[in-house]
Amino acid sequence: MGNSLDKIIVGNLAISAANLRRYLKKSHYWLAYHPETETIAFTANHNGGGEQLLEIRNASYENAERLARELGLTADHEGAQPCLWTKWNPVVELAHDGSDDAEALRLEMLRLGLPHTVRRSGRQWAWIDSAGAHAPTMWTKEMVLQRIRETAERYKKQLETIP
């Protein structure tokens, strides 16, 4: 249940940010406070464009700041935008054709804790990151496994956090 002091109270809404944070999946999150409307907007982008998760009206800046902090978000641009907090995690995609090679890529991402989306594909497998699609015949399974490992190592700090 938790202590009532652990919750952020905004009007009729009580938010347990620690619990919310624990159940969020790894993605790119940002929380913006709009002082002119006293609104908090919490948004995520999991390679599909920004999607608003919640909007809280009649909120104070202090509520926004505490919610951002307890969700593990940090101030953006070192204070240049005092009403914006973010958390970025790498997100990749796997077009899975049902092959053993595609399954090996999926299992490696799971083993390394690399956030990913699996999309079923009838054609061929492809691993998609910010650099583009990596697919046969130009890319072998071994080459992509190496890219997956490099990605996990490069973003090790982000992957160790919640969310």
The contacts of residue 98 (CB under 8 Å, 6+ apart) are 120
What CATH number does residue 130 fall under?
3.40.30
What's the total number of domains in the chain? 2
- The predicted pLDDT at position 1 comes to 46
Domain boundary pick from 57, 87, 117: 87
Q: Are residues 78 and 108 in the same domain?
A: no
Domain boundary pick from 72, 87, 102: 87
Q: Are residues 59 and 105 in the same domain?
A: no
Tell me which residue range forms the domain holding 47: 4-87
What is the pTM for the complete model shown? 0.75
Domain boundary pick from 35, 65, 87: 87
Contact 112, 148 (CB under 8 A): yes
Report residue 128 as tokens: 């998609």
Q: Are residues 99 and 82 in the same domain?
A: no
Per residue in 8-62, pLDDT tens? 888 778 888 888 888 888 888 999 999 999 999 999 987 777 899 999 999 999 9
Report residue 84 as tokens: 């914006």
Contact 118, 47 (CB under 8 A): no
Query: Can you tell me the distance from the alpha carbon of 128 to that of 79, in angstroms, rounded to the nearest whole number?
Result: 33
Count other Cβ atoms within 10 Å, centred on residue 15: 21
Q: Are residues 79 and 96 in the same domain?
A: no
Q: Are residues 79 and 40 in the same domain?
A: yes
Query: Can you tell me the distance from the alpha carbon of 83 to that of 107, in angstroms, rounded to the nearest whole number?
Result: 39
Q: Are residues 18 and 80 in the same domain?
A: yes
Provide the 8-state DSSP code for 96: E
Q: Is the Cα dihedral 151, 119, 23, 27 positive or negative?
A: positive
Per residue in 57-108, pLDDT tens? 999 999 999 999 999 999 865 666 889 999 988 889 999 999 999 999 999 9
Q: Are residues 78 and 19 in the same domain?
A: yes
Report residue 135 as tokens: 């697919």
Q: Are residues 69 and 130 in the same domain?
A: no
